[in-house]
Amino acid sequence: MEITASRVKELRDLTGISMMECKNALVEAQGDLEKAVEILRKKGIAKAEKKASRAANEGVVLSYIHPGNKLGVLVEINCETDFVAKTDDFINFAKDIAMHIAATNPLAIRREEIDPQVLEKEREIYREQVRAQKKPENIVEKIVEGKLEKFFQENCLLEQPFVKDPQITVKDYLTTTISKTGENINIARFVRYQLGEAFNSKA
C-alpha cells in the first residue's frame, strides 16, 4: 500500500513524532492511522523506559497562577540538557503540568510517595464501607484493593487523567514528550498553594 505524504503529515500532527518514524509506523500498520498511533505509542514507552536511567539535571522551575490569584503552583521539571529545557515542547509540557496540578490537587507524583499511614487509613475506611454492604468476608480485601487502585489513579499525578485530554494519563503525556525531545524528563517536585489552606508540597 502506498503511504502518501499527507497521511504521514496527518500522523505527525497527531503525535508530534518525526516524519520518518511516522512513515515507518504507517507502513507497519498498512496505512491504518489508529494502529500507527498505537505502534508509535508502544515504541515511545519503550524508548522512554530506556531513557529513564539517564541523569536529568537541567530543566525549569515554572509557576502557574489560576485566574483570580487565589491558587498557584510551582513545579520543577528536569531534563538532560539546557538546550531541551528551552524548547517549546518542554516549556509547554511544564506549563501544562503546573496547570494540571492546580486543577486536580494530587497528593503525590507517584504512588510510592504517598504516606503509608494515609493508605492504611483509606484501607480502613474502605473495609468499613464494604462490610456495611454485607459483602462476604472472603472478598472484602479484594474489593478494598480495587478501591485503593482507584484512589491511586485519582491522587497520584502520573496516574491521573490529563485535564486537557482525559483519554490519556499524565504519564502518557510525559512519555510522548520524552519521545518528542529525545531526552529523559522527570517531574521532580511541586508545591500547590491555595488561599487560606495549608500548602501541598511534594518532592
* Alpha helices in the chain, H assignment, sequence order: 5-15, 19-28, 33-51, 82-85, 88-104, 116-132, 137-155, 170-181
Residues 99, 164, single domain; the answer is yes
Mean pLDDT confidence for 145-160: 94
- 91 and 167, same structural domain? yes
| 99 plus 25 within the same structural domain | no
Residues 43 and 103 in one domain: no
62 and 106 assigned to the same domain: yes
Same domain (yes/no): 89, 163: yes
* Number of domains comprising the chain: 3
CATH number of 198's domain: 3.30.479.20
Residue pLDDT, tens place only, 61-92: 999 998 898 999 999 999 989 999 999 999 99
CA torsion 19→20→26→30, rounded to 10°?
A: 140
Mean pLDDT of 3-32: 81
Domain range for 45? 5-51
| CATH code of 34's domain | 1.10.8.10
Strand order across the 200-202 sheet:
58-65, 71-79, 186-194, 200-202
Shared domain check, 132 and 95: no
The single-letter code of the amino acid at 119 is L
Q: Is 162 a residue whose pLDDT tops 90? A: yes
At 23, is the pLDDT very low, low, confident or very high (cuts 50, 70, 90)?
confident
* CATH number of 145's domain: 1.10.286
Residues 106 and 38 in one domain: no
> Does the pTM exceed 0.85?
no
The span from the CA of 52 to the CA of 37, in Å, is 22
Same domain, yes or no: 37 and 134: no
Q: Please indicate, yes or no, whether residues 14 and 101 belong to a single structural domain of this protein.
A: no
d(CA 31, CA 4): 9
Q: What are the tens digits of pLDDT across the range 91-150?
A: 999 999 999 999 999 999 999 999 899 999 998 999 888 888 887 888 888 888 899 999
Distance CA 63, CA 48 (A): 26
